[in-house]
Amino acid sequence: MRVLITGGAGFLGSHLSDRFLAEGHTVIAMDNLITGSTDNIAHLAGHPRFTFINHDVTNYIFVEGPLDAILHFASPASPVDYLELPIQTLKVGALGTHKALGLAKDKKARFLLASTSEIYGDPQVHPQPETYYGHVNTIGVRGVYDEAKRFAEAITMGYHRYHGVETRIVRIFNTYGPRMRLRDGRVVPNFIQQALRKEPLTCYGDGAQTRSFQYADDLVEGIYRLLHSDEVEPVNIGNPGEFTIKQFAEVINQLTDNPAGIVFKDQRTQDDPQVRQPDITKAKRVLGWEPRFDVEEGLRRTIPWFREELQRRGELS
Ligand code: UDP
């Protein structure tokens, strides 16, 4: 297959590029590098089946030659990022998805949308199955991401129903692993860096809010299976192992032998979901997929990457 990955220089886009290349496919990674980085794909420079194009997908996308699949992963994805980049976040979810779907229609390519558990908002159903419609504050600060992704799902179904484009939608739950941006502000990079520096971990609020964290390789496997499946409607891909943020901080302190403990900070964003956990019954049934890495195994593979990255930058002795 010849595959276009938008957001290809991002955390997830770069892991997807690796996977598709390893399976023998040709990958074109497209990114405007506002939150992505060529550091994430530097190891692919010169690969005979890999190309990088610096382009903002909210503008008309031109790709020469045939395409078999388009994976639309371009978007700021951390709350700190989309709070700082509200217009770009809305544009890439709306205009960028429109352009990528137009390209898929033109090339007769299969289209896979990276959607998100954020479309469930601050959920009132727990855990969240795909049939839950969500509880989103349209005008809240997180609305720029949540509504852009909800629109992206709607236009994806529109192109499927009206134009017959073959589409897939993955709803991604909190994912971590090597190549997360050090300063993206999310809980995993924050906690790991604080722990490696032997500083206290900053729990926002009382730390009683929950998240369910999956390791990047599990997500990539789920996406690979979804693309090759016949499932048109959204599929949750996430690890159902649910932790309070305080428990999660304790796990990281334990794995890093950090004696500095936890501090509580009054820094939760508006509408920060109180709970989040995927119901993965559908992924199990239609994809035969379930996560393989529990949180400790995943973190044991992630922490050394952060340590090396901080040392490389001279930020950790
Ligand atoms: N959080 C925290 N300390 C941090 C960063 C985040 O306690 O240093 C909390 C945040 O308030 C949220 C959860 O961790 O409840 C997950 O936040 P993240 O930004 O990783 O992503 P989200 O799941 O909210 O999109």
Return the ligand 1 atom nearest residue 207 CA.
7
What does the pLDDT look like over 287-315, one tens digit per residue?
999 999 999 999 999 999 999 999 999 99
Residue nearest to atom 23 of ligand 1 (CA): 174
Q: What pLDDT is recorded for position 31?
A: 98
Return the ligand 1 atom nearest residue 268 CA.
11
Per the prediction, the chain carries an average pLDDT of 98
For the chain, the first-to-last Cα distance in angstroms comes to 44
What does the pLDDT look like over 79-98, one tens digit per residue?
999 999 999 999 999 999 99
Contacts of residue 68, Cβ cutoff 8 Å, sequence gap at least 6? 1, 2, 3, 109, 110
What does the pLDDT look like over 100-148, one tens digit per residue?
999 999 999 999 999 999 999 999 999 999 999 999 999 999 999 999 9
What does the pLDDT look like over 267-293, one tens digit per residue?
999 999 999 999 999 999 999 999 999
Domain 177-211+241-272+294-312 carries which CATH code? Answer: 3.90.25.10
Q: Which protein residues touch ligand 1 with a CB less than 6 Å away?
A: 78-79, 174, 186-187, 190, 202-204, 209, 211, 245, 268, 272
Residue nearest to atom 14 of ligand 1 (CA): 187
CA distance 310 to 317: 8
Domain ranges of the chain: 2-175+215-237, 177-211+241-272+294-312
Are residues 195 and 258 in contact, defined by beta-carbon separation less than 8 angstroms?
yes
Q: Sign of the CA dihedral 31, 222, 22, 27?
A: negative
| CATH class assigned to 2-175+215-237 | alpha beta
Q: What pLDDT is recorded for position 297?
A: 98
Q: What pLDDT is recorded for position 317?
A: 82
Rounded percentage of the chain residues whose pLDDT exceeds 90: 100
Q: What pLDDT is recorded for position 33?
A: 98
As given in the structure block, the two tokens for residue 13 are 């886009």
Query: Is the pLDDT reported for residue 4 higher than 90?
Result: yes
Full-prediction pTM beyond 0.85?
yes
What does the pLDDT look like over 43-88, one tens digit per residue?
999 999 999 999 999 999 999 999 999 999 999 999 999 999 999 9
Rounded percentage of the chain residues whose pLDDT exceeds 70: 100
Mutate to test the pocket of ligand 1, among 75, 128, 145, 211 (most ligand atoms within 8 A of CB): 211
Q: What pLDDT is recorded for position 98?
A: 98
